[in-house]
Structures are given as structure tokens and as C-alpha cells.
Amino acid sequence: MKNMMIGLLFAMLWASASVATKIGIHSAPPLVLGNVRFFIAGFVLLGYCYLVGRDKRYRMPNGVEWRQLAIFGALNTTVYLGLYVYAMKYIAAGIGSLATSTNPLLIVLLSSWLMGRRPAKGEIWSIVIGMAGIGLATYPLLNGGGTSLPGVAVLMTSMVAVSFASVYYARVPWALPNLLINGWQVTLGGLFLLPFTLVFSDFSSVHLDGRFIYSVLWLSLAVSVTGLICWFYLLKIDTVRASLWLFLCPLFGFFYAWWLLDEPITLYTVAGTLMVIAGLYIGQRKKLLRN
């Protein structure tokens, strides 16, 4: 029951990121919103590790670990989340939540490519069905529905980046605790993003109103801190079964978008979401059977 509650909490929090971002960018440019989020999350995580946590493993990284954290932070925070928050300006929140669920499918494809093996037929079908589902759900929103093709292209590029980050994370023999890894990668990623934020953002459009404050606090504390703590906990128990909670993210994401942003839920939405879930299941089916 405890694991089920944590998994449910993770799915609910993770799916809320796109709606919170969509709300926040009405008060600040996307990159400003992202940078503030990253620095708050990093401050909280590193502050806990070094000032509150009593685990002796909470130490400063060494030379090799700095390089590993920098690469992971650049992929997972600077490129992935930087592009993601930027894309949210040009896509519907529900589509943003749906796209994040394709991460396991892309990881399968990238892992096969990096390992030099040919993807299995089921893996190829899972990716085809999942991507087709996103296309179907996106189609009715392209004409006046708050979604554009360039926005979708940026969003999917961010998904490729986070998939590379996940594969890289799995290949590194980390000696640091997960909290410390996440704290440093989000902080370093925010530092790498900062020059782009300073150059490309219009700071005159920043409004420090309640909408901005609540969005940033939710994204940093609820999603980047609490959500990732839940995710690392689930991964520690069972990596394969942890990925099953991603199945719920599109459902929660479209519900939040409908409830908070009045985004429509159509037959295209339902059919596209079911296709993505089917693709996820096909891609994970063999692993689940082995478990």
C-alpha cells in the first residue's frame, strides 16, 4: 500500500509540471521561470544534504564526479528542461504531459543504438504507436488550439535529450546518493542555462505576482524535489514496475489541463492517450513478464 501511494503521488506530481509551467509563463519568460525553478530546487536539495542530512556519503564530488554531474546536468536540466519550458509557450499543457510519457520508448531506442543491437520488433512497434498517439492527440489542437508544429518539434527534441540523459545516468557507476546527484545536476544545469536566459529573455515582462510565485514553488518543491524523491524511491524498489506509473501521467495531465486551463478533451485526446499507453505497455511487456 505504501509503494502504491508513493507511485500515485509521483504520477500526480509529475503530470502537473506542464500545467504549472503553462500558468507560470504568463508572468515570466519560459527560461526565467525555468532558471528560478532550478536554483530553488538545487538550493533545497543541496541544503538538506549538507546542512541537515547526517549521511556520511553527503560529501563534495571529486574530479571525475564533477564531470559526470556536469554532463548529466547539461542533458537533463539545461537541454531537456530548458527546451521543455520554452516549448510550453507554443503547445497545450496536455500535450506536454503526454509527451513526457514517451521517455521510456525513446530510452529503448537509444539504448539499442548505443549498444549496437537491432531493436526488437515489439520495441519498434511501441515507438511507432506511441508517436502516432501523440500526433493524433495533437492534431485537433494545431488550428487555434494553442499548439504549433514548431512547438511540438521543440518538445520532442527535449524528450530525446532527457532520454539521452537517462541512458547516460544508467551507464555511470554513481558513488553519490541520489539526492546529492539530483541537487548538483539541477544546480549545474541551471548555471549552464543562465547565459541563454540572460541573452534571450525579456526581463521587462517578468511580473512577480502570485501566479509566478506559486508556479515556481510548485515546480521546484513539488515536482523537482518531492516528485523526484518519489521516483528515485520507486526505482530503488523495482526499475521496471516504476516505469508503469508513467502510464498514469497522461491521464492526470489532461485532467489538470481541462480542470485548470479549460483545454478540451476530445475523442482525439482519448484515442491518442490510449495509443501512447499501449505503446508503453508493448515496450515494457517482456520486462514485466520476466518480473
Cell of 168: 547516460
Q: Are 208 and 258 in contact (CB under 8 A)?
A: no
Give Cβ neighbours of residue 174 (< 8 Å, ≥ 6 apart).
68, 181
Find the angle CA(287)-CA(290)-CA(291) to the nearest 5 degrees: 90
Which stretches of the chain drop beneath a pLDDT of 50?
none
Q: What is the pLDDT of residue 121?
A: 76
Q: What is the pLDDT of residue 28?
A: 96
Going from N- to C-terminal start, the domains of the chain cover 2-290
Q: What is the pLDDT of residue 291?
A: 55
d(CA 246, CA 243): 5
d(CA 129, CA 147): 21
pLDDT tens by residue, 79-134 = 999 999 999 999 999 888 888 877 777 777 777 776 666 777 777 788 788 888 88
Q: What is the pLDDT of residue 145?
A: 66
How far CA 63 is from CA of 66, 68, 69, 264, 274, in Å, comes to 5, 9, 10, 50, 46
Q: What is the pLDDT of residue 144?
A: 67
Residue 69 one-letter amino acid: L
Using CB atoms within 10 Å of the CB of residue 64, give its burial: 0 to 12 exposed, 13 to 18 middle, 19+ buried: exposed
Q: What is the pLDDT of residue 4?
A: 84
Q: What is the pLDDT of residue 250?
A: 84
Q: What is the pLDDT of residue 115?
A: 66
Give Cβ neighbours of residue 242 (< 8 Å, ≥ 6 apart).
7, 231, 234, 235
